[in-house]
Amino acid sequence: MAGIETIAVLGGGAWGTALALSAARAGRSVTLWARDPALVAEIRSRQTNRAYLPGVTFDEPLTATCDIADAANADAILLVTPAQTTRAVLTPLAGLLRPGTPVVLCSKGIEKGTGNLLTDTLAEVLPQAHPSVLSGPSFAADVARGLPTAVTVAARDGAMADALAQALASASFRPYASSDLIGTQVGGALKNVLAIACGAVAGRKLGASAQAALTARGFAELTRLGLAMGARPETLTGLSGLGDLVLSCSSTQSRNFSFGHKLGEGRTAEDLLNSGEKLAEGVFSAEIAVELGERHGVDLPVCKVVSDVIAARLTIDEALNRLMSRPLRREAGA
Ligand SMILES: NC(=O)c1ccc[n+]([C@@H]2O[C@H](COP(=O)([O-])OP(=O)(O)OC[C@H]3O[C@@H](n4cnc5c(N)ncnc54)[C@H](O)[C@@H]3O)[C@@H](O)[C@H]2O)c1
Ligand SMILES: O=P(O)(O)OC[C@H](O)CO
């Protein structure tokens, strides 16, 4: 397999910019596509992205463009826009992408309306692409600053996953290759929903014991759904599953945890969404995760209460009562 030298990153937000910087540090030639001409101008003139990565000056030069056609000929494309925009962002590449080009989905979510994992959407829009996923415990601000990070990079074909890991690896960024596309995506999508639940527990001041219990029971949900959908157990206990769950369920740096924290303090989801809160993917994935669970015959009680709280069908206290009054059961057979 030929080496991956040129990389196009689609998405000029926090994670897209951080991954572009990280790939440049790894020695790749990187083009960042963003839809906002003002941001592209800022990157070209100042090598900064002050709105999404305040305080970070790029240590490696990035080429920026507003024309998505400039991305089509790269050896690999990283898609890093919000999960619900995946279809719209990929569609213009349909007639441009060379067969076999790896498209690495770096967003974490499930497509509303279809219940698709993002690789299913990719297969519908760009069937010629080689489907790949990057996920794991990694805050954009940490990666942008070159703090040590490890992630999972999965591709349909293990040799492609190895090539992508090789291309993205640097002294501070360590990808582990995998061929489990399903497991890698289920972990990233569900941890966002579960982080909202843990944030709400913290915001409602229910205690560290409750937060740990919810993290563990959340992991049981993530595992049940992942296995029912065909994930490998070792992926679910790896970086993109348990690793990312632990990070997001314990840190106020997580936007999903932070969103939940504000719910716990009494704000409503509608109010938060209307007041320009930062992107919290779990808000959009919660309901569809519950639907996926129903489709696969899997019970997801924590995701269900998160979905109900977001839709204002339940208060935080009612959610707690619902979880605590469920019939007792054996832990292993849950
Ligand atoms: N920020 C992180 O630490 C982090 C880490 C890992 C994964 N992720 C995932 O990466 C994805 C993106 O997150 P982010 O942190 O970069 O979000 P962000 O809010 O910082 O940036 C999102 C970017 O997407 C752009 N965008 C929105 N809609 C678009 C559209 N229709 N077409 C083109 N561009 C559009 C916005 O202008 C913005 O530049 C999410 O799925 C998130 O879960 C984020
Ligand atoms: O800020 P969050 O909650 O979107 O989390 C960012 C990353 O997904 C953490 O791995």
Domains of the chain by start residue, with CATH: 6-179 (3.40.50.720), 186-324 (1.10.1040.10)
In the chain, what are the helix, strand and coil shares in percent, each to the nearest 5?
A: 50, 15, 35
Task: Pick from 194, 254, 259 the residue to mutate for probing ligand 2's pocket: most ligand atoms within 8 Å of its CB.
Answer: 254
CB neighbour list of residue 260: distance below 8 Å, 6 or more residues apart: 195, 196, 197, 198, 199, 200, 201, 202, 203, 306
ipTM: 0.99
pTM, entire model: 0.97
111 CA → ligand 1 middle, Å: 15
294 CA → ligand 2 middle, Å: 26
Give the span between the Cα atoms of 164 and 5, in whole angstroms: 10
Q: Look at phi and psi of residue 15 and say left if phi exceeds 0, alpha if psi is from -120 to 50, else beta.
A: alpha
> Ligand 2: which atom is nearest the Cα of residue 192?
3
The partner residues of 168 in beta bridges, in order of sequence, read: none
Model pLDDT, residue 334: 45
| Cβ–ligand 1 contact at 279 (below 6 Å) | yes
Give the Cα-Cα-Cα angle 239, 272, 303 (nearest 5 degrees). 45
Catalytic residues: 191
| Cβ–ligand 1 contact at 282 (below 6 Å) | no
> Ligand 1: which atom is nearest the Cα of residue 136?
6
Q: 135-146 as b/e, with b when 16 or more CB fall inside 10 Å?
A: bbbbbbbbbbeb
Q: Nearest ligand, CA of residue 193?
A: 2
Q: Nearest ligand, CA of residue 15?
A: 1
| Cβ–ligand 1 contact at 109 (below 6 Å) | yes
Q: Are strands 29-33 and 63-65 parallel, antiparallel or unpaired?
A: parallel
Q: Nearest ligand, CA of residue 14?
A: 1
Give the span between the Cα atoms of 255 and 298, in whole angstroms: 27
| Cβ–ligand 2 contact at 244 (below 6 Å) | yes
Largest CA-CA distance found in the chain, in angstroms, rounded: 61
Model pLDDT, residue 1: 62
C-beta separation of 185 from 231 below 8 A: no
Low-confidence ranges of the chain (pLDDT < 70): 1-2, 333-334
C-beta separation of 246 from 215 below 8 A: yes
C-beta separation of 105 from 133 below 8 A: yes
Tens of pLDDT, residues 66-95 = 999 999 999 999 999 999 999 999 999 999
Model pLDDT, residue 61: 85
| Cβ–ligand 1 contact at 139 (below 6 Å) | yes
Half-sphere exposure of 83 (CA within 13 A, CB side): 31
55 CA → ligand 1 middle, Å: 18
245 CA → ligand 2 middle, Å: 9
Across the beta sheet with 6-10, the strand order is 63-65, 29-33, 6-10, 76-79, 102-105, 130-135, 149-155, 173-178
Known binding-site residue numbers: 15, 35, 52, 108, 136, 138, 140, 191, 244, 254-256, 279, 281
26 CA → ligand 1 middle, Å: 22
Model pLDDT, residue 333: 53
> Which stretch of DSSP H or E encloses residue 307?
helix 301-310
